[in-house]
């Protein structure tokens, strides 16, 4: 029997999986990972503990967490062949493209594909979580002709990433703030990059290909790439006085205002609220950023004009302002999103493998039938 389904562009509202990893209530502005509110995890957990929770489904004991952190610490280094490959990437290339290529290259070096072996699964999880930040930081330095900084085993996950990136030990508040940012971005139910990871996973390919395909999907401006565009937009607006006319022009010419709107949230994204608070903590310690004043006015006017349509600030609106204070270049904002989201992608990869069926949707054909072939001389 054939069931005729309604075609929904963008699969809006169509469930593509059953999942117990995370939950969003877009009307109430609630996000939970494995049932725990994001506010609680941001306040009490760490990124690696949260990654463990997402991937294995429960909070680790102290011993489990210590082992997980130590394994990741041990695997942070990347092979010199991967570094040499990255050295050949053009310095003008986008770091997301560099990351996608490098993530895929990991599959060349760790090619065993034992998807029914829990040790292989754990090893792949550890390697990806450990090496992706090292690759992002390495490309940042190598594109300027500098040698990458080796990971520092005395530093925890976020602090080590900032150390490799900025070539000095970070301030503890900066490291803590980045760790919370990673927790906030670690997972977000069914979205474009996670779906892409799951489709790739469903073919039973290796996890490096799964992550590489998700990185490619995250790169687009309607998904992870929006955080970079928010900063470009704030710079273009330039002053509080220009905010209203900028928004009026966007509405007149049907141009999206970056960092606003969400397929699921119809209120302010709870992650935007936490990120705004983190931005304020950073400004208090490291100095104000005039673009924050522009952002506040922008949020106020967008709410006034578009709030009734459920368009509010999303996760990307304040993250860029935090990253600027962490001295992170704008084109690394999306790779940092990827570093965090690797946890969510791997959780979905593991869940997909547990009950795998290859994705093979259908289509509604709108083309011709029985057309004649016209000889090239007669076209």
Taking CB under 6 A as the criterion, the residue among 79, 87, 122, 223 binding ligand CMC is: 223
C-alpha atoms less than 13 angstroms from C-alpha of 208 in its C-beta half-sphere:
22
Nearer to ligand CMC, 12 or 116 (CB): 12
Which lies closer to ligand CMC via its Cβ, residue 22 or residue 314? 314
Out of 262, 269, 289, 369, which one is annotated catalytic? 262
Binding status of residue 216 toward ligand CMC by CB under 6 A: no
Residue from 257, 294, 339, 342 that binds ligand CMC (CB under 6 A)? Answer: 257
Least distance from C-beta 275 to ligand CMC, angstroms? 12
DSSP bridge partners of 36 = 33
- When CB distances to ligand CMC are compared, the closest residue is 261
- For the question of residue 262 being annotated catalytic, the response is yes
From 124, 190, 258, 275, residue interacting with ligand CMC (rule: CB under 6 A): 258
Least distance in angstroms from the C-beta of 316 to ligand CMC? 5
Residues of the chain by 3-state class (helix, strand, coil), percent to 5:
60, 5, 35
Pair of tokens at residue 205:
């390919």
Point out which span in 82-90, 126-134, 254-262, 283-291 binds ligand CMC (CB under 6 A).
254-262
Nearer to ligand CMC, 195 or 286 (CB): 195
All residues at 6 or more sequence positions from 106 whose CB lies less than 8 Å from its CB, including other chains: 82, 127, 128, 131, 208
Cβ proximity to ligand CMC: between 297 and 316 the closer is 316
Interatomic CA distance for residues 322 and 275, integer angstroms? 7
The crossing angle, in degrees rounded to 10, of helices 172-185 and 270-286 is: 170
User: Shortest distance, CB of residue 351 to ligand CMC, whole angstroms?
Assistant: 20
Closest of 253, 251, 252 to residue 261, by C-alpha = 251
SS3 32: strand
318 near ligand CMC, judged by CB under 6 A: no
Judged by CB under 6 A, the stretch of 46-54, 125-133, 168-176, 255-263 that binds ligand CMC is 255-263
**What's the min distance (Å) between Cβ of 322 and ligand CMC?**
15
> In sequence order, what are the beta bridge partners of 23?
32
Total binding residues toward ligand CMC, as defined by CB under 6 A: 18
Least Cα distance to 229 among 139, 336, 316 occurs for 316
133, 151, 216, 259: which one contacts ligand CMC (CB under 6 A)?
259
Q: How far is the C-alpha of 312 from the C-alpha of 26, rounded, in Å?
A: 11
Options 17-25, 29-37, 256-264, 365-373: segment touching ligand CMC (CB under 6 A): 256-264
Q: Is the torsion defined by CA of 205, 206, 207, 208 positive or negative?
A: negative
Q: CB under 8 Å to 260, separation ≥6 — which residues?
A: 302, 306, 311, 312, 313, 314, 317
Q: Which of 222, 232, 288, 300 binds ligand CMC (CB under 6 A)?
A: 222
What are the b/e assignments for 331-355, b being 16+ CB within 10 Å?
ebbbbbbbbbbbbbbbbbbbbbbee
Separation of alpha carbons 106 and 272, rounded Å: 33
Check residue 262 for interaction with ligand CMC (CB under 6 A): yes
Which of 122, 256, 266, 305 binds ligand CMC (CB under 6 A)? It is 256
Residue with tokens 């072939």: 373
316, 331, 348, 369: which one is catalytic? 316
Tell me the β-bridge partners of 24: 31
Per-residue contact string for residues 4-23; x = within reach of ligand CMC by CB under 6 A = ------x-------------
Map the footprint of ligand CMC across residues 169-198, applying CB under 6 A. 191
Closest separation in Å from C-beta 83 to ligand CMC: 29
Token reading at 152: 């520092």
Q: Which of 101, 136, 311, 322 binds ligand CMC (CB under 6 A)?
A: 311
By the rule CB under 6 A, 315 interacts with ligand CMC = yes
Kindly list the residues in this chain that would bind ligand CMC in the complex (CB under 6 A).
10, 191, 222-224, 226, 256-263, 311, 314-316
The catalytic site residues sit at 262, 316
């Amino acid at each position: 029997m054939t069931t005729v389904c309604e075609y929904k562009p963008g699969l809006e509202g169509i469930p593509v999986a059953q999942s117990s990893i995370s939950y969003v209530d877009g009307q109430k502005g609630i996000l939970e990972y494995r049932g725990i509110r994001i506010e609680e995890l941001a306040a009490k957990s760490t990124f690696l503990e949260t990654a463990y929770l997402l991937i294995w489904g429960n909070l680790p004991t102290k011993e489990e967490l210590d082992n997980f952190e130590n394994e990741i610490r041990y695997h942070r280094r990347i092979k010199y062949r991967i570094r040499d490959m990255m050295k050949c990437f053009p310095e003008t290339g986008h770091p997301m493209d560099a990351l996608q290529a490098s993530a895929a290259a990991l599959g060349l070096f760790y090619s065993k594909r034992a998807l029914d072996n829990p040790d292989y699964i754990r090893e792949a999880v550890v390697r990806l979580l450990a090496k992706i930040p090292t690759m992002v930081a390495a490309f940042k330095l190598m594109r300027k002709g500098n040698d990458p900084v080796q990971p520092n085993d005395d530093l925890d996950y976020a602090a080590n990433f900032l150390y490799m990136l900025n070539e000095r030990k970070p301030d503890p508040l900066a490291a803590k703030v980045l760790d919370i940012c990673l927790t906030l971005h670690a997972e977000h139910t069914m979205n474009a990059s996670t779906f892409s990871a799951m489709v790739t996973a469903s073919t039973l390919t290796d996890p490096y290909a799964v992550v590489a395909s998700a990185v490619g999907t995250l790169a687009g401006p309607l998904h992870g790439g929006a955080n970079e565009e928010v900063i470009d937009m704030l710079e273009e607006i330039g002053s509080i006085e220009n905010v209203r006319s900028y928004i009026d022009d966007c509405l007149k010419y049907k141009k999206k205002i970056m960092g606003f709107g969400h397929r699921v949230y119809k209120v302010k994204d709870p992650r935007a609220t936490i990120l705004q608070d983190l931005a304020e903590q950073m400004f208090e310690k490291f100095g104000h950023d005039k673009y924050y004043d522009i952002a506040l006015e922008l949020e106020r006017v967008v709410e006034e004009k578009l709030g009734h349509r459920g368009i509010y600030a999303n996760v990307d609106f304040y993250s860029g302002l935090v990253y600027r204070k962490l001295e992170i270049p704008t084109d690394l904002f999306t790779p940092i999103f990827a570093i965090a989201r690797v946890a969510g992608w791997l959780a979905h990869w593991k869940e997909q493998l547990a009950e795998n069926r290859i994705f093979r949707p259908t289509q509604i054909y709108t083309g011709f039938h029985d057309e004649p072939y016209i000889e090239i001389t007669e076209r």
